[in-house]
Amino acid sequence: MKKKYDYVIIGSGFGGSVSALRLSQKGYSVLVIEKGKWYKSEDFPKSNWNLKKWLWEPRLRLFGFFKMTYLNHVSILSGVGVGGGSLTYANTLPVPKKEFFNSGSWNGLRNWEEELKPHYDEAYKMLGADINPVLGPSDEKLKEMAKDLNRSEHFSATKVAVHFGEAGKTVEDPYFDGKGPSRTGCIHCGACMTGCRHNAKNTLDKNYLYLAQQLGTEIIAENEVYDILPKDGKTGATGYRVFFKKSTGRGKKNQVEAGNVIFAGGVLGTVPLLLKLKKKSLPNLSDKVGCNIRTNNESLLVVTSTEKNHPDYTKGIAIGSILDIDKSSHLEPVRYGKGSGFFRTLTIPSYQHKWLIVRFFGVLGIIVTQPLKFLKTLFANRYSERTTVLLFMQTLDSTLQLKLGKVTPLKTATETGEAPSGFIPLASKLAKAFGKKVKAIPYSNFADVLLGTPTTAHVLGGAVMGADSEQGVINEENKVFGYENMMVCDGSMISANPGVNPSLSITAIAELAMSKIPTKKTSTPAIKETEEING
């Protein structure tokens, strides 16, 4: 590790990885600081019961890559590690509908749909996106539902970041003219979200970060940034001092100098850090830090088949298909691999109502009126092989505000629209219809039922774009209002509700932001290498 870098990037998810590669290609020295650990294929757990390898909860000395955060208005699922959310996401890469580009705080700043189109294409190329060629049993059930709803033409296989090739066969880099790592054909085991142990999932450490390292990017894992000071004591015109410490144990504190800083730690990394910095080190940050938090208006419902001769629902990729229910609603069947039944400990029968007492007796009523299904679900052997998680998403908009808490590290407050709810009538209706096909009772996260709050895997916003500091935290080029040489490139920059899995959009917007940064004036070998990688 050197003492000074042109760019220090905080976080290695989709935005951070894009930034690292593109800046390295332009001749800049880059340091990436990542809170989580490095993972190789063999390091991932065989199931999510291996909490030590799977779950990130440092207070319990658990240093895995999957994090669950419970807040007063929402429960959040996210990723931690070199490669960020790509380690645990479901590989799904849809382009949002038109409404996304013409709403929210970034509306009108640019013609986003037109300007981002080539960057979506570039993101597809870099992430190795391909159409899922194999529909698993849960995908086939969704296809049946589409027919029942007269929406067959709105059902499709997903476009995903997976190398399919020949199942189980390893080949030399198929994406970057031999400059990337070897890849192995997907075996459709369904274990994408507990970490791909078979070298088929195109995680960021196998594309953007891998190529960035070849060009000199340095990555420090298991370290967390806790302070940033402008060297000039004011605007950061001459750069910053970045302070960080060990995140997985004791170790001495370190610091480096950075000409530029890019926040890329995701909503749960970037936003809390910005809130802390605004109180002391960076007081000129916009008052909009923490505002415009969105949950993608999601609902997660678990359906466990009680059929005796059920198919193996682990077969396939994590999300193999998608059904557009209407112009603003989508449904996807999600699967985990064999043995991954930990979530059964966090769910109870789903029941909708605004009052807790009614929900309590509603759940009790389900148990009393359907005791056989309840018991079969509760004590089901081979739980993951019987289970489908239904992910429902909408483009309907409401926002929260994320704040630092006094009792808990973080808390939320309602901002615009209705507070997000754990119960969406259409989602419940669809889950019941799916449940009838497999003789199942829909279940929800216990927090959804007991607290009435939703669970989301796609929390967004908190450092959104705006015309000025009164409307956003960053401008249309991702530059932070109030400070020079500082940017945000991660899910916290998303300024409207995409209504679909957001990873592709984060990648594309980061690509656009990096395209605006000029090549470093000093010529370096990295620039020639860039031309070769880009053809």
How confident is the model over 497-519, as pLDDT tens digits? 998 999 999 999 999 999 999 99
Please name which of 265, 272, 236 lies closest in space to residue 486, comparing C-alpha atoms: 236
Tokens 């050197």 appear where?
2
* pLDDT at site 154: 97
Which CATH number applies to 4-38+81-128+202-293+459-533?
A: 3.50.50.60
- Six token digits for residue 463: 């450092």
* pLDDT at site 364: 94
* pLDDT at site 165: 95
pLDDT top residue among 500 and 17: 17
Cα separation of 91 and 88, whole Å? 9
Cα 221 from chain centre = 19
Task: Please check the confidence at residue 344 and state whether its pLDDT lies above 70.
Answer: yes
> Given pLDDT bands bounded at 50, 70 and 90, which one contains residue 1?
confident
Cα separation of 394 and 282, whole Å? 36
Cα separation of 122 and 25, whole Å? 15
- Beta strands, E only, 154-217: 155-157, 159-161, 170-171, 183-184
| Contact indicator for 505, 281 with CB cutoff of 8 Å | no
* Mean pLDDT of all residues in 264-288: 97
* pLDDT at site 153: 97
Per residue in 164-203, pLDDT tens? Answer: 999 999 999 999 999 999 999 999 999 999 999 999 999 9
* pLDDT at site 528: 45
C-alpha R_g of the chain: 23
* pLDDT at site 531: 46
Q: Tell me the percentage of the chain whose pLDDT exceeds 90.
A: 85
Catalytic residues: 458
> Given pLDDT bands bounded at 50, 70 and 90, which one contains residue 356?
confident
Task: Please check the confidence at residue 348 and state whether its pLDDT lies above 70.
Answer: yes
Residue type, 407: V
> Given pLDDT bands bounded at 50, 70 and 90, which one contains residue 530?
very low
* Mean pLDDT of all residues in 152-173: 97
> Given pLDDT bands bounded at 50, 70 and 90, which one contains residue 526?
very low
Residue type, 303: V
Residues with Cβ within 8 Å of residue 251, at least 6 apart in sequence: 245
- Beta strands, E only, 27-152: 30-33, 56-57, 62-63, 66-70, 75-79, 129-131
Cα separation of 23 and 216, whole Å? 10
Q: What is the pTM of this model?
A: 0.94
* Mean pLDDT of all residues in 23-35: 98
The sign of the CA dihedral 336, 338, 342, 346 is: positive
Task: Please check the confidence at residue 327 and state whether its pLDDT lies above 90.
Answer: no
Task: Please check the confidence at residue 404 and state whether its pLDDT lies above 50.
Answer: yes
Cα separation of 486 and 236, whole Å? 8
* pLDDT at site 25: 98
Tokens 């990873």 appear where?
503
**Residue 211: C-alpha distances to residues 63, 204, 478 (Å):** 26, 10, 23
| Residue-range domain boundaries for the chain | 4-38+81-128+202-293+459-533, 299-456
| Contact indicator for 123, 504 with CB cutoff of 8 Å | yes
Q: Specify which residues 302 forms β-bridges with.
A: 389, 443
Helix (H, G, I), strand (E, B) or coil at 137: helix
> Given pLDDT bands bounded at 50, 70 and 90, which one contains residue 439?
very high
| Length of the chain counted residue by residue | 535
> Given pLDDT bands bounded at 50, 70 and 90, which one contains residue 237?
very high
* Mean predicted lDDT score pLDDT of the chain: 93
* pLDDT at site 522: 73
* Mean pLDDT of all residues in 327-356: 92
**Residue 178: C-alpha distances to residues 91, 175, 318, 370, 528 (Å):** 23, 7, 28, 57, 16
- Six token digits for residue 49: 């019961």
Tokens 């969704």 appear where?
142
